[in-house]
Amino acid sequence: MEFDNSKPIYLQIIHNIKKKLVRGELKPGEKIQSQREFAKEVNVNPNTVQRAYREMELLGLVHTLRGQGTFITEDSQMLQEIKSEMAVDLIKSFITEMQSLGFEDEQILIQVEKNMQIKE
Amino acid sequence: MEFDNSKPIYLQIIHNIKKKLVRGELKPGEKIQSQREFAKEVNVNPNTVQRAYREMELLGLVHTLRGQGTFITEDSQMLQEIKSEMAVDLIKSFITEMQSLGFEDEQILIQVEKNMQIKE
Amino acid sequence: MEFDNSKPIYLQIIHNIKKKLVRGELKPGEKIQSQREFAKEVNVNPNTVQRAYREMELLGLVHTLRGQGTFITEDSQMLQEIKSEMAVDLIKSFITEMQSLGFEDEQILIQVEKNMQIKE
Amino acid sequence: MEFDNSKPIYLQIIHNIKKKLVRGELKPGEKIQSQREFAKEVNVNPNTVQRAYREMELLGLVHTLRGQGTFITEDSQMLQEIKSEMAVDLIKSFITEMQSLGFEDEQILIQVEKNMQIKE
DNA sequence: GTGGTCTAGACCACC
DNA sequence: GTGGTCTAGACCACC
Contact B60, A60 (CB under 8 A): no
Contact B74, B80 (CB under 8 A): no
Beta strands B31-32; A69-72: pairing state:
unpaired
Task: Give yes or no for a contact between B42 and A3, defined as CB atoms under 8 angstroms apart.
Answer: yes
Q: What is the pLDDT of residue A47?
A: 85
Helices (DSSP H) in A1-120: which residue ranges?
9-22, 35-42, 46-58, 76-100, 105-119
Q: What CA–CA distances, in Å, run from D20 to B62, D11, D13?
A: 39, 14, 11
Going by pLDDT thresholds of 50, 70 and 90, the confidence category of residue B37 is very high
How many angstroms from the chain centroid is the CA of residue C66? 25
> DSSP letters of chain C?
-----PPPHHHHHHHHHHHHHHTTSS-TTPEEPPHHHHHHHHT--HHHHHHHHHHHHHHTSEEEETTTEEEE---HHHHHHHHHHHHHHHHHHHHHHHHHTT--HHHHHHHHHHHHHHH-
What is the SS3 assignment for chain D?
CCCCCCCCHHHHHHHHHHHHHHCCCCCCCCEECCHHHHHHHHCCCHHHHHHHHHHHHHCCCEEEECCCEEEECCCHHHHHHHHHHHHHHHHHHHHHHHHHCCCCHHHHHHHHHHHHHHHC
Q: Could you tell me the sign of the dihedral formed by the alpha carbons of C85, C87, C90, C94, in that order?
A: negative
User: Straight-line distance from CA C67 to C1' E15, in Å?
Assistant: 5
- Nearest Cα to A5, choosing from C119, D107, B11, C83? B11
Q: Are B73 and B79 in contact (CB under 8 A)?
A: yes
H or E element at residue A31: strand A31-32
CA distance D120 to A20: 68
Number of A:B CB contacts under 8 A?
Answer: 108
CA distance D85 to C59: 38
> Which nucleotides of strand F lie within 7 A of protein CB?
1-9, 12-15
Give CA–CA dist D65/D72, Å, rounded. 11
Encode pLDDT of B54-105 as tens digits: 999 988 899 999 889 999 999 988 888 999 999 999 999 999 889 988 899 9
Question: What amino acid is encoded at D8 in this protein?
Answer: P
Q: Which of A37, A35, A32, A18 is nearest to A89 (CA)?
A: A18
- Per-residue burial over C53-78, b = 16 or more CB atoms within 10 Å of its CB, e = otherwise: bbbbeeeebbeeeeeeebebbeeeee
Calculate the alpha carbon distances from B107 to A36, B94, D75 in Å.
Answer: 38, 13, 92
**Chain D residues in contact with C95 (beta carbon < 8 A):** 112, 115-116, 119
Which residues have C-beta within 8 Å of that of residue B78, sequence separation ≥ 6?
B60, B61
Name the residue closest to F7, CA to C1'.
B45
Residue D52, judged by CB atoms within 10 A of its CB (0-12, 13-18, 19+), counts as buried
Residue D9 to residue C19, Cβ atoms within 8 A: no
pLDDT at C118: 66
Quick one: pLDDT band at residue B30, thresholds 50, 70, 90? very high
pLDDT level of residue A24 (50, 70, 90 thresholds): confident
D40 vs D46: CA distance, rounded Å: 8
Phi, psi (rounded to 5 degrees) for A63: -135, 150
Query: Residue C101 is nearest to which of D7, D23, D42, comparing CB atoms?
Result: D23
Q: What is the pLDDT of residue A36?
A: 86
In this complex, do B94 and A90 lie within 8 Å of one another by their Cβ atoms? yes
Closest by Cβ to D12, choosing from C3, C87, C97: C3
What stretches of B1-120 show up as alpha helix (H) in DSSP? 9-22, 35-42, 46-59, 76-100, 105-119
Mean pLDDT of A21-34: 89
Q: Cβ separation of D23 and C100 shorter than 8 Å?
A: yes
Which one-letter amino acid corresponds to residue C78? M
Per-residue model confidence (pLDDT) at position B3: 67
Nucleotide nearest residue B66, measured CA to C1': E3
Distance in Å, alpha carbon of A58 to nearest chain B alpha carbon: 23
What does residue B115 show for φ and ψ, rounded to 5 degrees? -65, -30
How remote is the C-alpha of B19 from its chain's centroid?
Answer: 5
**Residue C90 clears pLDDT 90, i.e. is over it:** yes
Whose C1' is closest to the CA of C45: which nucleotide?
A: E7
Q: What is the pLDDT of residues A66-102, one digit of tens each?
A: 888 999 999 888 888 999 999 999 999 999 999 989 9
The span from the CA of B45 to the CA of D71, in Å, is: 54
Query: Residue B119 pLDDT more than 60?
Result: no
State which nucleotides on strand E lie below 7 Å from a protein beta carbon.
Answer: 1-9, 12-15
Mean pLDDT of chain C: 89
**Which pLDDT value is given to residue D5?**
67
CA angle C34, C36, C39 (to 5 degrees): 110
The residues facing C72 across adjacent strands are C62
Query: CA A10, A15, A16 angle in degrees (round to 5)?
Result: 100
pLDDT, tens only, C6-37: 788 999 999 999 999 998 899 999 999 999 99
